[in-house]
Amino acid sequence: MSSVNGNQEESPTRDSTAGAILDSSVGSHADTLLKRMQHFVDNQQLCDVVLIAGIDGKRVSAHRLVLSASSEYFLAMFAGSLRESKEHEVTLGEVHGDALQLLVQHCYTGSIELHKDTVETLLTTAKMLQLTSVVTTCCNFLARQLHASNCLGFAFLAEQYSCTELLRVAQAYTCQHFMKVCHDQEFFQLNANQLGKLLSSDELRVPTEEDVFHTMMSWVRHDAPTREQHIPKLLAKVRLPHLPPSFLVDHVENVCSASNECQQLLLETFKWHSLPPERRSLIAATERTKPRKYILGVLLAVGGLDSSLNGVNAIESYCPYLKKWTTWKLKFNCIDVGAAIMNNKLILLGGYNGRQTLNSVVSLDLNTMASVLLNPMRTARCKVGVGVLDGHLYAVGGTSNYNSILSTVERWDPIARTWSDVSPMCTERSSPGVAVLGLRLYAIGGSFDTPSMESYDPQTNKWSLRAPMNRCKGEVGVTVANGFVYALGGLRDGDPLKTVERYDPTTDTWSLICSLVDRIGIGCALLGDRLIAVGGFDRTSPHNNVEEYDLVRNVWNKLAPMSVPRYRPHVFNIPNIIPPPPAPYTPVADKDGSKPA
């Protein structure tokens, strides 16, 4: 007796009287059977059903057994009580003959060849016939063809046929490349509901919210007579509170006059702008009051001292879109440099190189990463505070050679490319916190428990003392948000503080707000509507902690830490001039776990 067994391995010690055993592997056996079946269908042998394409009438012969084993659709048709189970010819409506033939062939061979001009037809037909592996392969193929000119169409196709992964990838691509997509013809063919869904996405990557408004209006003007009626619904998707008041007056008001709904949105927005941050929670929180992820920009952490109190020669950038820090290498071999962002360039001033205090000034272009030397400062400075006011760069105080603390201030004119002295401060300050608010420059604290603050008026070239902080502080982290100056942490009687104070220039008063972990030398900046505290030094070592302060809820939350601790880092919020890399596309696995080719 001869036995064919492809599923169970026979024991070699089996009784020899059982006869010879042919042990074929499952793969080779299945391949042989499929090749035989394919030979039968190619030669019209033993076929028991003819499939007829409903669109063009093409006839495709096949075997019910093979079709039923490949597709739940055919299994339900032929193994159940449907009329088609007894018929020799079955017509499939809304099916193209060429696609049907390729898919039937796939049932015999397990392979299929895809082309750009036929893949969408194959996808829709395979979806109808419940050939899941083909659907997955088609989706992977389309995902690799994504472009600004087709991503909206692919997303619509994926949504129509419930191709979840292709829909996710196409929508992500659309958001990532929105500024190109919105100029393509596909964009202007969207209906109002599709556009509204796109404009409401938090993932939309645009330089400013103004671009969102202009994009919406370009879609409306493409067919104004029929599309103007949709303005109220679409305007609600624009995050109006994040448009400058001047833009609202110049561009938004004139499209709101004919609609009570639009006027209500505008009224809500002006009210939001008029309230201080702590009172904005009185307005019902909506998506409109939340800045989009990408518009937030990125944070740069520059310089500072590491755990060994050596200078950190690398920039790190934090992307709120990816929620992580990325390290850039930067070659400067000095510590305690001053830094500022001016015209999309990082300006590094002075510092200490281990031998002497420097007066050098380096400009690093954040688009090209090319650096150039600018004219040096008139005075060598390290631990210098830096601010940009009315297009001019100010170097404030610091420490000169021989550890002499400075009260002098000098100003860089980028047009004349010269430095000039301005009026000195009332107080000598090393590592002062410097802030720009309105038309004034503020110098706050210093490294030796200096609680005082003074402001500089460039019109009069005079410094004036302002209300001191409530707690004696030196080495405070300083930034500006929503019309207030914030001072974080700092030093008091040699001990680091956890307090955070806020200065109101309209009343010349300081008030305490929610505390954080006590430390000095904190770097801070504004990211969207959140205050960010970066690094600092506690009683023993520098931190790599990063926290965000919710101005409305008055709470601190942790963010992803930096890769290295930094004491006295400079932190800036810059536009997304260096976009984060997109997440790579990962092909979807078939149900058996294999990855389609």
pLDDT at 108: 84
- The angle subtended at Cα 542 by Cα 541 and Cα 543, nearest 5°, is 120
Q: What is the DSSP letter of 14?
A: S
> Percent of the chain having pLDDT more than 90?
56
- Measured CA to CA, the distance from residue 256 to residue 393 in angstroms comes to 41
Structure confidence by residue, pLDDT tens digits, 234-279: 999 999 998 888 999 999 998 888 889 999 999 989 888 887 665 6
Structure confidence by residue, pLDDT tens digits, 53-82: 989 999 998 888 889 888 999 998 888 777
- What's the average model confidence in pLDDT over 139-143? 94
Considering only CA atoms, which of 61, 65, 68, 67 is closest in space to residue 47? 61
Rg (CA), the chain: 34
pLDDT at 250: 92
Q: What distance, in Å, lies between the first and last C-alpha atoms of the chain? A: 43
Least confident of 5-19, 154-168, 197-211: 5-19
- Measured CA to CA, the distance from residue 140 to residue 166 in angstroms comes to 7
- What's the average model confidence in pLDDT over 400-413? 92
Mean pLDDT in the chain?
Answer: 86
Residue 187 has pLDDT above 90, yes or no: yes
- What's the average model confidence in pLDDT over 335-348? 92
- The angle subtended at Cα 370 by Cα 369 and Cα 376, nearest 5°, is 120
Residue 15 has pLDDT above 70, yes or no: no
Domains of the chain: 19-145 (3.30.710.10), 190-289 (1.25.40.420), 297-574 (2.120.10.80)
Classified as helix, coil or strand, 278 is helix
Of residues 578 and 79, more confidence is placed in: 79
pLDDT at 319: 86
Is the entire prediction scored with pTM above 0.85? no
Residue 579 has pLDDT above 60, yes or no: no
pLDDT at 545: 93
pLDDT at 416: 95
Of residues 274 and 509, more confidence is placed in: 509
pLDDT at 524: 94
Of residues 8 and 214, more confidence is placed in: 214
Residue 323 has pLDDT above 60, yes or no: yes
- What's the average model confidence in pLDDT over 372-386? 96
Residue 291 has pLDDT above 90, yes or no: no
- What's the average model confidence in pLDDT over 472-480? 87
- The angle subtended at Cα 400 by Cα 395 and Cα 403, nearest 5°, is 135
What are the beta bridge partners of residue 21?
3
Residue 597 has pLDDT above 90, yes or no: no
- What's the average model confidence in pLDDT over 125-134? 93
Considering only CA atoms, which of 428, 433, 405, 394 is closest in space to residue 523? 433
**To which residue do tokens 């556009």 refer?**
195
Considering only CA atoms, which of 314, 207, 303, 214 is closest in space to residue 577? 207
Structure confidence by residue, pLDDT tens digits, 529-566: 789 999 999 888 999 999 998 877 788 999 999 999 99
pLDDT at 5: 40
> DSSP E strands: which ranges in 59-204?
59-62, 89-92
Residue 577 has pLDDT above 80, yes or no: no
Of residues 230 and 81, more confidence is placed in: 230
Residue 184 has pLDDT above 80, yes or no: yes
Residue 1 has pLDDT above 70, yes or no: no
Residue 2 has pLDDT above 50, yes or no: no
What is the number of residues in the chain? Answer: 597
Q: Two tokens at 409?
A: 């201030």
Q: Two tokens at 539?
A: 């009683």
- Measured CA to CA, the distance from residue 219 to residue 248 in angstroms comes to 19
Q: Please, what's the largest Cα pairwise distance for the chain?
A: 114
SS3 content of the chain, % helix, strand, coil (to 5): 30, 25, 45
Q: What is the DSSP letter of 470?
A: S
- What's the average model confidence in pLDDT over 434-442? 93
pLDDT at 294: 79
pLDDT at 562: 95
Of residues 239 and 87, more confidence is placed in: 239
- Measured CA to CA, the distance from residue 381 to residue 581 in angstroms comes to 38
Q: Two tokens at 577?
A: 């001039």
- What's the average model confidence in pLDDT over 111-118? 89
